[in-house]
A and B are shown apart, each in its own frame.
Chain A
Amino acid sequence: MTDLADLTIAQASAGLREQEFSAVDLLDAVERRAAITEAHLHAYLTLDREGAREAAEAADIALVDGDLRPLLGIPIALKDNMVTKGVETTASSQILAGWKPPYDGTAVRRLREAGAVIVGKTNLDEFAMGSSTENSAYGPTRNPWNTETVPGGSSGGSAAVVAVGSALGAFGSDTGGSIRQPASLTGIVGAKPTYGLVSRYGLIAFASSLDQIGPLARTVPDAAMLLEAVAGWDRMDATSYHGDVPAISRSLNVGVRGVRIGVVTELVGEGIDPQVLAATRATIDRLSEAGADVVEISLPAIEYALSAYYLIAPAECSANLARFEGVRYGLRVDGATTEEMMARTRAEGFGPEVTRRILLGTYALSAGYYDAFYGQAQRVRTLLRNDFATAYGQVDVLVSPTSPTTAFEIGAKTGDPLTMYLTDICTIATNLAGDPAISVPVGLDDGGLPIGFQIMAPALGEEVMFRVAAEVERLVDFTARPRLATSKVVAP
């Protein structure tokens, strides 16, 4: 018999409705899986056993009444920068250790209203600053495909739990690739929606003009279903989009005949691992054979994207993280004056990468430098958006690898911040543009590590993006699972 922890969300939802098993059975299977895998991965920071059980029991009662909400009874995990009422929320920082928020973020509230069962909170790079989940104050998460390697980041915990089945789906946040890159490195699907499509209320802010909440799942339809549950305007987020939500899952089965696909020249050359490149090319060929019109398109400003990002993101983070001052929540280190208390609290509470970015951002925003750094970076953002606009005048979607390499070894890039920043080279441009993008697994390299394929679309172009992603999934038929996706005891 199939272990329930290995079901997709669509399969589990069908099984629950047919009453083949209960939501409590499903939660039990996922928690059994976590009991085995967590010893190897450290992907969860908190398991909310009590809350999850209550939600599963409530789902079972609703299911008997014929409730058909698609996420009813589905066990999902949340990145620990998503605020959950009464459940410890740390953003993987010492400065928030022990904080139990007095409210749910909007995405969290919508998931609860959809009947989802929130299993727990997942590890991340502190305040989502990083690309490997090594910057967590509570220790790194490991990649279930090879525990000597990183799962990517910053949503590495959410990616790892989905890859092994210790949740059927998860949510993360993506500021420069933090959903897509870990999805790529762990062989699952991860999507960053259009900026403004999902409310940021209750997402602990990193870089407010870039941050977006999005889903991680084993399949494209599952990711679409998760996104649909949380998308839409919210009065608590003034930047949330007030128009109609795109028809995210309407065209999942339509195929790609006649879809115009642009291959981004700058992202299929130098700096990309040859095996990643080969898998990318092979996927593009399959799409072409399936009837898509493929052309190559240059985005010249993309070469400035990384530099612009590393001015904008630290600048915004330095402002956002000013709220952690030892007064309203979390850690306080005593001092003779309030200012001394604040400076000591922040020195003690923030890890090195967060401190580095706050300092960088503070400098870039300080008197005399604002326009040269932040202002100029925001203008470069416009140049990049102009490039994307020109490209989307000719094609429906753009494609590239998601990550320049497969998973790298733990510790390999922690010595030099810039080397780590370069891992975001394929994903950052869409955050700057505010556009949606998705990563779909398309193969394994010689070392047995997953390779992800990225599909980008214009703002609010989720329908065509998910349409192409679903076709990639069908064409490639990636079915491999990590060795750790098992509920049997595994040797380390």
Chain B
Amino acid sequence: MCLATCYRSNPHTLSAQSTGTITSMPVEIDIERVAHLARIALTDEEMTAYSEQLVHILEHAERVQALPTDEVEPTSHPLPMVNAFRPDEVIPSLDRDDVLAGAPDAEDGYFRVPKILDES
């Protein structure tokens, strides 16, 4: 596959059209949106590089998407466990000061962060 031919109007949006005979959805990645959702500040170069790699990896996922699975239930836990019950007992939790000792910034028993809301 030639990545260069797959560029759309947004240089950070790559897509890979299925080349096989099976039906599958084309891979399109809006890498800026994905990086924002993941809260990772990427440079333009990094966005382009990751975008290409992700498309390449997702092309392999197309094989999985083409499998007929209409009647198949998803597996999330391999053992036949339904509910995990335990006695409702109070047990000691971690000491607050011990936990805060590992934090980058703490004040008055709380984690401290920069301002969350824009003032505008």
Contact = CB atoms under 8 A, between A and B. Distances in A.
A344 B41 contact: yes
B25 A372 contact: yes
Contacts, number: 177
Interface string A360-396: 1011001000001101111111110100000000000
A80 B21 CA distance: 45
Contacts of A310: 57, 60-61
Interface residues of A, number: 73
Contact of A359 (B31, B63, B77): B31
B77 A209 contact: yes
Overall SS of chain B's interface: loop
B54 A328 contact: no
- Most chain A CB within 10 A, of B36, B61, B76, B78, is at B78
B50 interface: yes
A310 B61 CA distance: 8
Interface stretch (A25-33, A100-108, A282-290): A100-108
Contacts of B90: none
B3 interface: no
B67 to A, nearest CB: 6
A358 B111 CA distance: 25
Nearest to B37: A362
Interface string A413-434: 0000110010000000000111
Given A327-B103, A356-B53, A372 B41 contact: no
B63 A307 contact: yes
A256 to B, nearest CB: 26
Overall SS of chain A's interface: helix
A337 interface: yes
Contacts of A307: 60-61, 63-64
B114 A337 contact: yes
Contacts of B115: 336-338
A359 B76 contact: no
B39 A346 contact: yes
A308 interface: yes
B116 interface: yes
A483 interface: no
Nearest to A239: B77
B4 interface: no
B73 interface: yes
A383 B116 contact: no
A326 B104 contact: yes
Contacts of B114: 334-338, 340-341
Nearest to A375: B74
Contacts of B38: 318, 346, 358-359, 362
Closest 8 CB pairs of A and B: A434-B78, A378-B74, A332-B104, A102-B98, A343-B41, A379-B69, A381-B75, A347-B41
Given A325-B39, A355-B42, 7 more contacts: A194-B79, A242-B84, A307-B60, A326-B104, A337-B118, A339-B39, A363-B54
